[in-house]
Amino acid sequence: MVAAGLMFGLAAWGQAQPNIILIFADDLGYGDLGCYGAPVKTPAIDRLAEQGLRSTDCLVAANVCGPSRAALMTGRYPMRCGHPISRHPFPKYADYGIAPDEVTMAELLKSAGYHTKMVGKWHLGFHVEGSHPLDAGFDEYLGLYSNYATQKDRVDERTIYRNREVVEKDVPFEKVTKLYTDEIVDFIKQDHKQPFFIYFAHHIAHGPLLPSKTFKGKSGVKGRAGTYIDFVQELDHSVGRVVAAVDEAGIAENTLVVFLSDNGPARDGTAKPLSGGKYVTMEGGHRVPGIFRWPGRIPGGQVSDAMISSLDLLPLFGAVAGAALPDDRTIDGKNILPLLTGKTQQSPHTYFYYYNGLNLQAVRNERWKLHFPRTSEDQPYWAKKDSGQRIYTTLKKPMLFDLDADAGEKHNVFAQHPETVETLTREADRIRAEIGGLHVVGSDQRPHGLVNPQEKN
Ligand SMILES: [Ca+2]
């Protein structure tokens, strides 16, 4: 399935292949961490940022869980890899999972000699034939495969699986983050003959907000806002334990640690100073915390404002592992190693595309972002109506924002920059013809196979 270069032992740049740990938070907003301006500190993640590179312009390819994860795994926009819609436990999605013919980062790394381990939320069709983590290149899996469901009749979403087997049913959420972290810390402590790749997909800070007893009330902030902060503190503590395990094992200089979130904040988190959040194509929906630590390779104390993306992680991991990318398909991500190591400050991307479901809603370059008109019918089911952080779900006229001066997308400068508007409009037409749109089948688009894809049922 994978056409990757086989260079066991040594990466392309002549050193041992590093371990890779990818920590993926859920619905954590751009402004939810101390190092991104939150008033409550997140000491472990803040330290990780100090020791490496913190990105202020790290974009995910979708503003909701499923398509963001499909893009992360494949380095391809959700429209291109055939997974533009988030799945639900309804019959409609029975055959909808990550396509077996996609090449995931786990498959790429496995082909280069890595042991690949996943812990946590998969959300890409666990029960769909060919879409289980073990079918997508992971040697091992442990976790709740989707969101934690509190509804009585949805026990399967409170069930811990190891590989394909049930470990424990109806597990209280209280236990989950500690169970995951223990599993990973124990794994890191083992004597490893192979380089490893760990994908740790947290449920925090996705609802329900259920911090465990150790963390409940720890922030000292009252009410639901305090519960959310407690929850984020539990995530931070878990990150601290994983990083400490790496340091104590003496493998820090041979381990790349990446931390990011899958999309912007839902009702409780914040994307400040950005606008919008989960479900929408404002920066708050797509721009997330992005942190990279690799002592000796990535200089510490860096803050980068170059536009990067979760799409870039597959090419990055391929580069550090010495695994050639598949050459039979388009990979949207770019190798950002030169940016992380300080060799360049330039983004490898000219454009970034903001799809909401099947609807292309905005295109940007480093500086300018153009939003296109849209109706509520154009929207996927998660964004039909304005409410909370769902803003501009309808738009009568296009809007242009200067993100350098106005990352909060408050001041429409459409009328002042007709040439920029023309360039970005042309680029939108080009990408729509290539990877599709609401009423357009693209020339390089894997079919998603859903009837009425923008509707939930
Ligand atoms: Ca999410």
More confident residue, 440 or 6: 440
Alpha-carbon distances of 379 from 86, 206, 275, 393, rounded to whole Å:
13, 22, 18, 7
Confidence of residue 15 (pLDDT cuts 50, 70, 90): low
Instruction: Determine the pLDDT at residue 318.
Output: 98
Residue 123 C-alpha to ligand 1 middle, in angstroms? 10
Task: Check 35, 58, 65, 81 and give the catalytic one.
Answer: 65
Residue 439 C-alpha to ligand 1 middle, in angstroms? 26
- Cα–Cα distance between 333 and 321 in angstroms, integer? 16
Strands lying side by side in the sheet with 368-371: 352-356, 359-364, 368-371, 399-402
pLDDT at residue 164 above 60? yes
Share of the chain above pLDDT 90, in %: 94
Instruction: Determine the pLDDT at residue 271.
Output: 98
Residue 358 C-alpha to ligand 1 middle, in angstroms? 18
Residue 263 C-alpha to ligand 1 middle, in angstroms? 5
Beta bridge partners of 16: 10
Is the domain spanning 352-435 CATH 3.30.360.30? The answer is no
pLDDT at residue 385 above 70? yes
Q: What is the mean pLDDT of the segment spanning 116-143?
A: 98
Residue 423 is encoded by which pair of tokens?
Answer: 């360039």
Residue 133 C-alpha to ligand 1 middle, in angstroms? 18
* CA atoms 35, 41, 44, 47: torsion sign: positive
Q: What confidence tens digit (pLDDT) does each residue in 424-449 have? A: 999 999 999 999 999 999 999 999 99
Do 393 and 378 touch, CB atoms closer than 8 A?
Answer: no
Average pLDDT of every residue of the chain = 96
Residue 365 C-alpha to ligand 1 middle, in angstroms? 25
Find, among 139, 219, 149, 212, the residue nearest to 182 by Cα: 212
pLDDT at residue 252 above 80? yes
Of 113-122, 214-223, 346-355, 398-407, the one with minimum mean pLDDT is 214-223
Confidence of residue 457 (pLDDT cuts 50, 70, 90): confident
Note if 58 is an active site residue. Answer: no
Q: What is the mean pLDDT of the segment spanning 146-159?
A: 96
Residue 310 corresponds to which amino acid? Answer: S
Q: Domains of the chain: which residue ranges?
A: 19-340, 352-435
Residue 48 C-alpha to ligand 1 middle, in angstroms? 22
- Cα–Cα distance between 92 and 94 in angstroms, integer? 6
CATH architecture, domain 19-340? 3-Layer(aba) Sandwich (3.40)
Q: What is the mean pLDDT of the segment spanning 387-399?
A: 94
Cβ-proximal residues to 438 (8 Å cutoff; 6+ apart), any chain:
358, 359, 360, 378, 454
- Cα–Cα distance between 112 and 148 in angstroms, integer? 34
Task: Check 123, 132, 371, 448 and give the catalytic one.
Answer: 123
Instruction: Determine the pLDDT at residue 236.
Output: 98
Do 93 and 87 touch, CB atoms closer than 8 A?
Answer: yes
Note if 65 is an active site residue. Answer: yes
Share of the chain above pLDDT 70, in %: 97
User: Residue for token digits 């990780």?
Assistant: 48
Instruction: Determine the pLDDT at residue 6.
Output: 46
Instruction: Determine the pLDDT at residue 7.
Output: 45
